[in-house]
Structure 1
């Protein structure tokens, strides 16, 4: 029996479901948690799922597709697009496939390419988590590119790359969530030190999680003590 191709609406729905497994709910507007392994199984069943859309190529770290898109239209580097209306670098850094070993390097290389090509390291969106949605994001809750590296995927190398390229650590989320991977905390704490003249000023702007400012301060203090101990030794 001949298999009928998906209709445009069916394909769009399938792509949105797939993206809901690659990105967290505050990015995708889905109520499901990101599940990269299931996302990879779906892609294995439909290898052309990201074909023809450079914004979908960001999710899987297809650097060649990103290069072609940039050659065709350099302005796309800082323009939101695709089904989730994400800026390219943000889409790369927030991809949960960073947690999968065979995709980590290609996503890192894609991020490096986008930054070198001129992507703004402070690209951001607004939360799509209720009361926000994909069609009506919650503008009270901005989400930065850096938050994807340090807070969502807890990738220390990518966190350092973004900070060195000029990412603003004062995004209300990254330092607090970096505590879940101590390797992400030192570069963020160092960036905080360069943004604050003394410990009294160290606080998350408008923290949206209980205890965020206190946790950030504690992280900075621990980093400072560790640095002092290392220097003494």
Structure 2
């Protein structure tokens, strides 16, 4: 006997959240309810669909074929929407084949591939969430994505291209690129831009091989190529886009990729642009940024001495400039900027939310967090304060430890920055052991034993 009071909570717990990010939450509540009432999956076609039970879905449709298109349950979704926005589908990839079979049964019974629901949590304008988005951009299930596309699902909404390029789901991207309903130029631009957001070299290569244009902005204010530079992508990703025809001098609003590269201290990118014959700015503020990034202190000083307005504008940007260069591990621009900064601990007022760099961070905070070990040593040698805190109260040592245990840039997870900061007298206060990184735990333990 099913407790009817549990059916609604079970469906809600089994679906992705509709009032929070769809990737948030766990199956803990759904599993607990199912453990207490195993028959909950049998209560309705919606419960069968959301839990990936194809035999039960068939039984319900044999009893009433109209259920394939009937909306119900607490969210008033049809069964295919319950299937594609299932938290079980999202969190148990080993069961993807079961959900593909549920979707196949429903589609063959007449369920529309372009079904979905209206999300009213995004302000005054409701946003449509398609079943394809659930499959491709929430669960990242390539077989389910391909099945929906084969039945005519349209990938050209705002959600599918934006989210499907996340999480390095290259099989999902490949399925979308092969869709019978082709992706538009704007959708492709969104996917390439998002691949740049994720620093996804393989994804970028896959999209460029398909013919996606790196200079086409689509519905965005700038191009995927500009985004790759804005997000400090690795030089090989930028190089791929250059080979695909990207123009470093093409202006989007007030910005070009070339100027961004200069202000981010990307010596490596400016050198590549120059090798390709791209003219570098030779006047104004952009030319000063280029000189600094190429490490030419003499040329920068000469330009600044000739133009008071340019000099003032440059000095206003030195803190952010130094922090961006520090985050990119670029020693040449930092060597020049240290001559102009009012202090080596100059504060980046805004910070950068994309990189989780708090307002009022110093170059040392940024270098420690982004695991730029040579820059950390340079800044310490230049007298940087190893005890200072950023706008969220975090020390450079705390950021260096976090970089090794809680960052995406796993290829740079080494204890060098932690060692350098401890040797410079940094306090380990606020860092709990174990951190999850044995070499760092050993360094911190020795520091604690000496000061304890």
- Structure 2 length-normalised TM: 0.40
Q: Where do 1:67-106 residues align within 5 Å?
A: 67-98=58-89, 99-101=91-93, 103-106=95-98
Q: Are the counterparts in 2 of residues 203 and 217 from structure 1 also a CA contact under 8 Å?
A: no
Q: How far apart are the structure 2 equivalents of 1:67 and 1:20? A: 22
Q: How far apart are the structure 1 equivalents of 2:93 and 2:205? A: 30
Q: Are the counterparts in 1 of residues 116 and 131 from structure 2 also a CA contact under 8 Å?
A: yes
1:225 counterpart = 2:200: no
Q: Once the 2 structures are TM-superposed, how far is the Cα of residue 95 of structure 1 from its aligned partner?
A: 0.6
Q: Once the 2 structures are TM-superposed, how far is the Cα of residue 227 of structure 1 from its aligned partner?
A: 4.8
Residue-by-residue CA offset, 1:83-124 (whole Å, 9 max, x unaligned): 221111111111121131453222121111111222111111
Q: Once the 2 structures are TM-superposed, how far is the Cα of residue 20 of structure 1 from its aligned partner?
A: 3.2
CA, structure 1 residues 19+34, in 2 after alignment: closer, same or farther (shift >3 Å)?
A: farther
Out of 11, 34, 44, the residue aligned to residue 53 of structure 1 is 44
Rg larger in structure: 2
SS in 2 for 1:194: coil
Q: How far apart are the structure 1 equivalents of 2:95 and 2:206? A: 30
Q: Are the counterparts in 1 of residues 52 and 83 from structure 2 also a CA contact under 8 Å?
A: yes
SS in 2 for 1:120: coil
Q: Once the 2 structures are TM-superposed, how far is the Cα of residue 184 of structure 1 from its aligned partner?
A: 1.1
- Equivalent in the alignment of 1:115: 107
Q: How far apart are the structure 1 equivalents of 2:46 and 2:104? A: 16
Q: How far apart are the structure 1 equivalents of 2:55 and 2:125? A: 33
- Equivalent in the alignment of 1:215: 190
SS in 1 for 2:33: helix
1:40 counterpart = 2:31: yes
Q: Are the counterparts in 2 of residues 170 and 192 from structure 1 also a CA contact under 8 Å?
A: no
Q: Are the counterparts in 2 of residues 92 and 107 from structure 1 also a CA contact under 8 Å?
A: yes
Q: How many residues align?
A: 199
SS in 2 for 1:122: coil
SS in 2 for 1:176: helix
Q: How far apart are the structure 2 equivalents of 1:139 and 1:192? A: 30
Out of 2, 8, 12, the residue aligned to residue 20 of structure 1 is 12
Out of 154, 158, 161, the residue aligned to residue 140 of structure 2 is 154
Q: How far apart are the structure 2 equivalents of 1:112 and 1:54? A: 14
Q: How far apart are the structure 1 equivalents of 2:164 and 2:156? A: 13
Residue-by-residue CA offset, 1:123-143 (whole Å, 9 max, x unaligned): 111014365xxxxxx762011
Q: Are the counterparts in 2 of residues 23 and 34 from structure 1 also a CA contact under 8 Å?
A: no
Gaps of at least 5 residues in structure 1 are 132-137, 197-201, 205-212
Q: How far apart are the structure 1 equivalents of 2:205 and 2:180? A: 13
Q: Once the 2 structures are TM-superposed, how far is the Cα of residue 192 of structure 1 from its aligned partner?
A: 8.7
SS in 1 for 2:186: coil
Q: Are the counterparts in 2 of residues 124 and 145 from structure 1 also a CA contact under 8 Å?
A: yes
Q: Once the 2 structures are TM-superposed, how far is the Cα of residue 16 of structure 1 from its aligned partner?
A: 3.4
- Structure 1 length-normalised TM: 0.72
Q: How far apart are the structure 1 equivalents of 2:153 and 2:86? A: 18
- Equivalent in the alignment of 2:162: 176
1:186 counterpart = 2:186: no
CA, structure 1 residues 113+90, in 2 after alignment: closer, same or farther (shift >3 Å)?
A: same
Greater RCO (Cα-Cα under 8 Å, separation 6 or more) = 1
Q: Are the counterparts in 1 of residues 107 and 113 from structure 2 also a CA contact under 8 Å?
A: yes
Q: Are the counterparts in 1 of residues 13 and 30 from structure 2 also a CA contact under 8 Å?
A: yes
- Equivalent in the alignment of 1:210: none
Aligned-residue Cα RMSD (Å) equals 3.0
CA, structure 1 residues 39+102, in 2 after alignment: closer, same or farther (shift >3 Å)?
A: farther
Q: How far apart are the structure 1 equivalents of 2:117 and 2:155? A: 16
